[in-house]
Structure 1
Amino acid sequence: MFHDRHTILVESIKRLLRRNALPHLKKIVRKTHAADLADAFRHIGLADQKRLFGLMNDVEQQGLLLSELEESIFLEFIREMPVDEIVRILDEMPNDDVADLIGLMPPETATAVLEKMEKEGSEEVEGLLRYSDDTAGGIMTPDFVALSQDSTAKEAIESLQKEHRDVEMPFYLYVVDDLKRLVGVISLRQLVVVKPDTRLKDIMNPELVSVQTSMDQEEVAKIVARYDILAVPVVDETGVLEGIVTVDDVIDIFRMEATEDILKMAGVGDMFVETQTIMGGIRIRLPWLFASCLGGILAFYVISGFEETLIKYAYLAAFMPVIAGMGGNVGTQSSTIVVRGLATGRLSLGDFWRVIGKELLVGLFLGIVYGTLIGLVAELQYSIFMLNIVVALAMVSSMTIAAFMGALVPLGLARMKIDPAVATGPFVTTSTDVITAFLYFTIATKLLDM
C-alpha cells in the first residue's frame, strides 16, 4: 500500500511538472512530507528538482527536504545554489542537522557557509564538526534542557516557557551542577506534579544512563534500544553535558548500520547500487569474488586428487551439487545469525564456545535429517546400499562443518578486531566448499572400495 502511494505521488509530480501545473504542484508540495519529496527527487532531473524546491514557501520545509536528500543528490543540488540561499535555510534548521549537511559539502563551500551564518549558530555547528561523524558527538544535538540542581520546580517551568520553547526533546530535563556536569534527570511529568518550591536535586533521578562524545554511534544506538529511552545525554571526559542523541537519530543509525552490514556480507561494499558507478561497483566486488574464485580453484585441485574415484564411480558427481549447496546454505544461515547477533549486541565474544557448540549441534541434526533423505534418493535411483551410506555421511559432514565454520569465522574475526560482515562470506564459502569436497570423496573412496 505504501509503495503504491509513493508511486502515485512520483507519477503525479512528473505529470504536473510536464504540464507546468504550478498551482497543483504547490498543493502537493505543501501537503507532502519532506521524506516523500526527497524520495521523489531521485526520480526527476536537476532542473525539475529546482522547480519543485522553488515552490516551497516554508524555509523549515526546505531545510527538512535538504536533510532527507541522499548525499549524491544533495551535493548536485546545492552545487550552483548561492551561499546566501544555503545560509538562509540552514539558519532555520537544528544545529545537528546543519552540521551533518555542512560535513557533506566541499571544504570551500562549507567554509563560506560557516562564515556567513549567525555567530552563535556557526559556533555550535563548528563545535559539532569537531567530532567524527560516526560518534556520539557527531550525531548529538546541542539543543536540550539543562537546569541547575538548586532550581525549584516553579523556576524550572518558567525557564521552559521562556528559554526552551523550541527544544527538540523536552520530555527529559537534565540537571547539572555549578560546573555544568550532569548529575541527574527529571521527566516533564515529574516536574508538573510536585510542589512549586521543590528543589530539583530532591526529585531528580541520579541513576541515569549517559554516553561520552567519543562513543561509536552503533554503541549509542544499542544503549538507547536496551534501556528503551527517547534520548540519551552525551557528556565529555569531565562529565559536562554537551548534547543529547534522540531516538529518531537512533532509528537512522540502526537502518544505516543494518544496510551496511548486509551489503558488506554480500561483498558489494556499503553503497546502494544506484549511487555506485560502474567502475566503482567492479572495484568493490572484485576482491570478494576473487577470494571465492580462489576457493573454487582449491576445491578443483581437491577433486582432481580423487579423479580415479570419480571415473570409477561416475554417479558420485550427481550428488556433488546438492551436498555442496546444502552445506553452503547452512553456513550462510549460521554466519548471518552470528554476524547480526554481534552487530546488535545480542552476542558477545564471551559467548564464543556456547554459540559454536549450539550451531555445531544444529548442523549435525540438520545433516542427519537431510543425509537420510538424500541417502534414500540414492538408494532408489542406483540401488547401491554403500552409496546410500556415502551420500548420507557426506551430507552430515558437510552441514555440520558448514554450521561450525559459519559460527567460528565471524566470532574469530571479531576477536581479531576484523569486521565480521566484510570477511565472513569468502571464508565460510571457501572453507565449506573445500572441506565438503575433500570429505565426500574421502568417504566414497574408503567405503566404495571395500
Structure 2
Amino acid sequence: MHNERIKILNTSLKRLLRRGATKQLLNIIKKTHMADLSIAFKDLSADNREKLFNLIDDLEQIGLLFSMLDENLFIEFVKNVEFNKLVDIFDHMPSDDAASLLTLLDEELSDQILSKMRKEESDNVEQLMSYGEDTAGSLMVTDFIALEEDVGAKQAIETLQNKYLDVEMPFYIYVVDEYGKLVGVSSLRQLVVVHPQKPLKEFMAKDLVTVKPYTDREEVAKLVARYDYLAVPVVDDDNKIVGIVTVDDVIDILHEAATEDMLKMAGVGEEYIEIQTILGGARIRLPWLFASFLGGVAAFFIIGGFEENLAKFTSLAAFIPVIMGMGGNIGTQSSTIVVRGIATGRINLSDFSKVVSKELAVGLILGVIYGLFIGVIARFAFAADLFALPLAFAVGLAILSSMSIAALVGSMVPLIFERLNIDPAVATGPIVTTSIDIVSVYCYFMIASLLLGL
C-alpha cells in the first residue's frame, strides 16, 4: 500500500511539474509528509528537484526533508541552494539534525553556516558536533523541560504553556535540585492527575535511567528499547542534564545497526548496494568469498580422499548437496539468531552455555526429523541394491550429525568472537558456512565408511 502511494505521488509530481501546475503542487506539498516527499524527491530530475524545493516555503519542513534525504543526495543538492536560505533552514532545524547534516558538508561551508546562524542555535549545534559520531552526545537535543523540585503541579503546567511551546519532546518533565542536578522525572499524565499545589518532588519518579554524552549510541538505543522510553536524559559528570536522546533518533539507530549487521553478515560491506561503485563492491566481497573458496577447496580434498569409496558406491555422491545444504542452513539460522541477540543486548556472554545448549538441542531435534526423512527416501530410492539399508542409516546419521554440529558451531562462533572483541556480524558468516561444509562432508564419508564396510 505504501509503495503504491509513493508511486502515485511520483507520477503526480512529475506530471504537475511538467505542466507547471503550481497551485496543485502546493496542495500536494501541504498534504504530503516529508518522509514520503523525500523518497519521491530522489526519483526526480535535478531541474524538477529544484522546482519542487523552491515551492516549499516552510523552513522547518525543508529541514525535515533534508534530514530524510540520502546523504549523497543531500550533499549534492545543497550545493545549489542559496547560502542565506541555507543558513535560515539550519536555524529552524532541530539541533541534533543540524549537527548531523553539517558534519556531512565541507568543513569550510559548515563553518560559514555556523558563523551566520543565530548565536544560541550555533552554540548548541557546535556542542553536539564536538562529540564523537557514534555517541549519545552527537544525537541528543538540547531543548528539554527541566524544572526545580519544589515547583507545584499547577505552576509547572503554567510554565509549560508559557515557556516550553517549541520543545521537541514535551512528554517528560525532568526535575532538578537547587544545584541543577537531575533528581527525578515526571510524565505529563502524572502532572495533571495530582493536586495542583503538590510539588514535583513528591510524585516524581526517582529511579532514573541516564546516559553520558560519550555513551555509545547503540547502548542508548538498547536502553530505550528495553524500558520503552520516549526519551533518555543525557547527563554530564556532575549529573546535570545537558540534553535528551529521543525515540525517533533511536529508531534510526536500530534501523542502521540492523542493516549494517545484515550487510556485514552477507559479506558485502556496510553500504547499501545502490551507493557502492562496481570496483568497491567487488573489493569488499572478495575476502569473504575467498573464505568460502578455501572451504570449497578443503571439501574437494576431503571428497578426493574418499574417491575409492565413491567409485564403489556412486550413490553416496547424490546426497552430498542435501547434507551440506541442511547443515549450512541451520548453521546460518543459529548464527543469525545469536548475532541479533548480541546486537540488541538480549544475549550476553554470561548466557553462553544456555544459548549453545538450546541451539544444540534444536539442531538435534531437527536432525532426527530430517535424518528420518532422508533415510526413508534413500531406502526406497535404492531399494533394489543390497546396501540400501546401511546407506539409509549412513545418510540419516550424516544429516543428524551435520545439523547438530552446525547448530553448535553457529551459536558458539558469534559468542566467541564477541568475547575476543571481534565484530560477530563481520566474521561469523564466512567462518560458520565454511567450517560446516567441511565438517558435514567429512562426517558423512566417515559414517558411510563405517556402516558400509568400506
Q: TM-score higher than 0.5 here?
A: yes
Residue by residue over 1:19-56, the C-alpha shift from the partner in whole angstroms, topping out at 9 and shown as x without a partner, is: 33322222212211100110012211222111110111
Q: Amino acid of the residue matched to residue 158 of structure 1?
A: E
Q: Provide the residue aligned with 1:429 in structure 2.
A: 433
Q: Provide the residue aligned with 1:114 in structure 2.
A: 114
Alpha-carbon distance in structure 2 between the residues aligned to 1:80 and 1:308: 71
Q: Provide the residue aligned with 1:171 in structure 2.
A: 171
Contact 1:291-1:426 within 8 A present in 2 as well: yes
Q: Amino acid of the residue matched to residue 244 of structure 1?
A: I
Q: Provide the residue aligned with 1:18 in structure 2.
A: 18
Normalising to structure 1: TM-score of the pair?
0.97
Q: Provide the residue aligned with 2:158 in structure 1.
A: 158
Q: Provide the residue aligned with 1:443 in structure 2.
A: 447
What aligned pairs does 1:51-200 form with structure 2 within 5 A after superposition?
A: 51-200=51-200
* Candidates 385, 398, 403, aligned match of 1:399: 403
Alpha-carbon distance in structure 2 between the residues aligned to 1:233 and 1:53: 35
Q: Are 1:388 and 2:392 matched, yes or no?
A: yes
Alpha-carbon distance in structure 2 between the residues aligned to 1:447 and 1:161: 82
Determine helix, strand or coil for the equivalent of 1:18: helix
Identity of aligned residues (%): 56
Alpha-carbon distance in structure 2 between the residues aligned to 1:170 and 1:151: 17
Normalising to structure 2: TM-score of the pair?
0.96
Q: Provide the residue aligned with 2:262 in structure 1.
A: 262
Determine helix, strand or coil for the equivalent of 1:12: helix
Q: Amino acid of the residue matched to residue 423 of structure 1?
A: A
Contact 1:232-1:245 within 8 A present in 2 as well: yes
Q: Provide the residue aligned with 1:332 in structure 2.
A: 332
Q: Provide the residue aligned with 2:357 in structure 1.
A: 357
Superposed displacement of residue 413, structure 1: 0.8
Superposed displacement of residue 193, structure 1: 3.8
Superposed displacement of residue 196, structure 1: 4.1
What aligned pairs does 1:37-52 form with structure 2 within 5 A after superposition?
A: 37-52=37-52
Alpha-carbon distance in structure 2 between the residues aligned to 1:12 and 1:153: 50
Contact 1:83-1:112 within 8 A present in 2 as well: no
* Larger deviation, residues 275-284 vs 355-364: 275-284
Contact 1:153-1:199 within 8 A present in 2 as well: yes
Q: Amino acid of the residue matched to residue 168 of structure 1?
A: E
Q: Amino acid of the residue matched to residue 218 of structure 1?
A: E
Contact 1:59-1:89 within 8 A present in 2 as well: yes
Q: Amino acid of the residue matched to residue 250 of structure 1?
A: V
Q: Provide the residue aligned with 1:304 in structure 2.
A: 304
Q: Provide the residue aligned with 1:419 in structure 2.
A: 423
Determine helix, strand or coil for the equivalent of 1:366: helix
Superposed displacement of residue 151, structure 1: 2.8
Superposed displacement of residue 310, structure 1: 1.6
Alpha-carbon distance in structure 2 between the residues aligned to 1:240 and 1:104: 30
Q: Amino acid of the residue matched to residue 395 of structure 2?
A: V
Alpha-carbon distance in structure 1 between the residues aligned to 2:288 and 2:345: 26
Determine helix, strand or coil for the equivalent of 2:169: coil
Alpha-carbon distance in structure 2 between the residues aligned to 1:390 and 1:188: 67
Contact 1:339-1:410 within 8 A present in 2 as well: yes
Q: Provide the residue aligned with 1:245 in structure 2.
A: 245
Q: Are 1:29 and 2:33 matched, yes or no?
A: no
Alpha-carbon distance in structure 2 between the residues aligned to 1:408 and 1:441: 25
Determine helix, strand or coil for the equivalent of 1:173: strand
Contact 1:182-1:239 within 8 A present in 2 as well: yes
* Larger deviation, residues 124-133 vs 306-315: 306-315
The alignment of Structure 1 onto Structure 2 pairs a total of residues equal to: 450
Alpha-carbon distance in structure 2 between the residues aligned to 1:127 and 1:260: 27
Unaligned residue ranges in structure 2 (runs of 5+): none
Q: Amino acid of the residue matched to residue 404 of structure 2?
A: T
Contact 1:103-1:129 within 8 A present in 2 as well: yes
Unaligned residue ranges in structure 1 (runs of 5+): none
Superposed displacement of residue 94, structure 1: 1.2
Q: CA RMSD in A?
A: 1.5
What aligned pairs does 1:365-380 form with structure 2 within 5 A after superposition?
A: 365-380=365-380
Q: Amino acid of the residue matched to residue 130 of structure 1?
A: S
Superposed displacement of residue 446, structure 1: 2.3
Superposed displacement of residue 82, structure 1: 2.9
Q: Provide the residue aligned with 1:236 in structure 2.
A: 236
Contact 1:410-1:424 within 8 A present in 2 as well: yes
Superposed displacement of residue 16, structure 1: 2.0
